[in-house]
Amino acid sequence: MEGESLAGLSPEELGEALALGEPYRARQVYRWIARGASGWEEMTDLPAAERSRLAGLRPRVDSSSPAARLEDPDGSIKLQVRLADGAAVECVLLEDLEGRRTACLSCQVGCPMGCAFCKTGSLGYLRDLSAGEIVEQFRFLRAAAGRGAISNVVFMGMGEPMLNLGAVRKAIAILSDPRGIGLSLRKITISTSGVVPGILDLAEHGPKVRLAVSLTSADDGLRGELMPVNSRWDLAALKDALARYQAATGERITLEAALMGGRNSSPADAEALVRWASPLKVQVNLIPWNKVPGLPFSEPSRAELEAFAAVLERAGMTASRRMRRGRGVMGACGQLGDTLRA
């Protein structure tokens, strides 16, 4: 029991793990944990005798703990979270101009996908996170925010969610459970580099969350250079999987294009993207690449970004320019992973 996370357990699992007896007792504990409680003394509707029994068992709601907090002047908060085995991950709270708050969660310590433009990818892979370790990041970000609720969750932190789909699914079940945290599935996004079996698995078995794909380039040669995943599942296989996901969910898919100056950001690159995406229903997030020391890319100019967007918009596509939020704390896209050990 010691060292295990309770944050990733369903009411039924909690009841069993803590020998809570009546199912309503497990639901009480589950609700407290969902509201953010981390100690038994906070659970004031449990009988005192039960609270001291639980204190005696020494179970912990959270198995990990925030080790460092960085705040950007734009309001973004990055937490470094120390895991029970000493490994570390990062998670980020981003706030947009309308005040919507999004928790960007990690699902692996490091990442095995090796995207050339990504800091996390350059660090390698240590291990998968458990569902509890994923939910704990949400809990820590909510506590760090101090005010207002988190309305959205994106699996865009460290790691490839499709390679840890079991734990990601379980974490989503906890985050979206109306008996607990209760986020709408429509407010949860899984972002993948293009792991086709994972997309197909999700299409068939759910949950029906929003799907985002790091496209980066619609040219197999260039995408292969930037994203090794493309040599395993090329653009044709990826498109076929996305069409199946869209048929299963009816939802628009987000294509993310991390644009690097002079590499994949020309109007011709944009035209290739338009041709490739048709007839999928997509929206495109243009993400100006964020500088990472040591990586051989440059940020795109404003003119490159606007010319790229103009091609998409002329073709009738929705193209949003993702704000450069969190840059001051190295918490922006592709910048996570100062270290894998706290």
Residues that bind ligand SF4 (CB under 6 A): 111, 113-115, 118, 120-121, 158-160, 193, 214, 334
Residue 326: which of 68, 69, 67, 74 has the closest Cα? 74
**CB of 28 or CB of 285, closer to ligand SF4:** 285
Distance CA 225, CA 220 (A): 9
Out of 13, 71, 90, 299, the active site residue is 90
Give 105: exposed, middle or buried? Use CB within 10 Å, 0-12, 13-18, 19+: buried
- Could you tell me the smallest distance in angstroms from the CB atom of residue 148 to ligand SF4? 27
Residue 71 appears among annotated catalytic residues = no
Mention every residue, 6+ apart, whose C-beta is less than 8 A from residue 193: 113, 115, 160, 213, 214, 227, 229
- Could you tell me the smallest distance in angstroms from the CB atom of residue 24 to ligand SF4? 41
* Residues 19-57: b if buried by 16+ CB within 10 A, e if exposed: ebeeeebbbbbbbbbbeebbebeebeebeeebbeebeee
**CB of 214 or CB of 290, closer to ligand SF4:** 214
- Could you tell me the smallest distance in angstroms from the CB atom of residue 120 to ligand SF4? 4
- Could you tell me the smallest distance in angstroms from the CB atom of residue 203 to ligand SF4? 19
Half-sphere exposure (Cβ direction) of 60: Cα atoms closer than 13 Å: 12
Residue 313 appears among annotated catalytic residues = no
Distance CA 315, CA 332 (A): 29
**CB of 34 or CB of 111, closer to ligand SF4:** 111
**CB of 26 or CB of 329, closer to ligand SF4:** 329
Active site residue ranges: 90, 333
